[in-house]
Chains A and B, each alone.
Chain A
């Protein structure tokens, strides 16, 4: 179990990590997601005692990394596969790490075998391809048979076979009951690997939720509407939403305000659930209403439509939206404060932060989705 509380790291005037708190639980793969430069590596380095946080702390099973006696037996990590001396053989690289933690040469050969590098164990690591270096790095992480594993962008630069291998491997480690914490800037990759996602942008926590929840929130479908009589359409939609909200038994569901930052809608935005209307550049995005109903409503009110198209949000776009928001937020507000566009959280029953409606908290950047068909 990794427990970060209030981690803060500042480089000069740049806040790299800001008040970051999260839990990484054993028995599952926890994805650590954020765009490049969002503070993932810095956070991992603070967890591992390489960087010292300005405030806050990170504990591994209640202990600081710096206080661990034989750290590699408790925590295995791969932050950068290139951290090897190019003239040192793979075996020698592992041998000194093993020696530092009271592990024998036998264990070195075991992990070399696990990652499939036995045949090149005597070759200089500088001659390795990136994929082989990643395997060597993973061998180093596994050396002490640790309960906790951290991997920073392990699939970067790997071929599909290597990616598949690492993915399967990490899942296997989690199934053995280990704590696996993997960072990535690729949501699609994390969707396939992680059971739980910690999402950060500009060093701040954006979401801490199960992958399934995150995806269901992030990929809700919406309908894009353009009309020369937008205000009239808007009014009609709001009326409909109110009516539905009263009759359909969805208390507190609709937020007529449309693009209200953080218009919180707990639960999935599926038809029958919450309905929202967002103003975008040249039209509206309606979330949670069937496309037929919008068309019929416009026809009934005699409002001409220039576009009525279904949109399906992709994971990537949802992610960009989410993280853009934090970029935007930092750029316009003084660092350290909490602006109105900050993502909203509601503490869940287990004390864990739950993900509250990523798209609803967006400033109107544009359609969060890709037109499909029609």
Chain B
């Protein structure tokens, strides 16, 4: 029997300054039977929601007016007052140039999806963070999901504790 996701059990926070864009994501989640959706238009409000209510998954834009969704990720992953450093974060953004992707990845984004997006692309990211979560890595200057998605041959010294 195949695995299923009961999205009605999952709560979301959408962080986007564009109300239409946030509403579209909310409507898509609603079609998936999600009932617990919060929205925020800036980092401070997002932090308040996360501190007060806590959510299972954050979906954030990169461009948040004069702020950046990367700063929100940085706060979630590294701040002393972060309520949950391992909260899955999907970055859904029109800022899709490689430098944006790399910066988000290096701050600990769980999944990245460029706008314009397809519902299929969004669904795949939701499945990934809920049903196929990655291990986290904690090292000098990084705390976040394991950035090694592909298994490629590596001849250098093993530095990870799990590598023995």
- Whether A associates with B in a native complex is no
Residue positions of B touching A, CB distance < 8 A: none
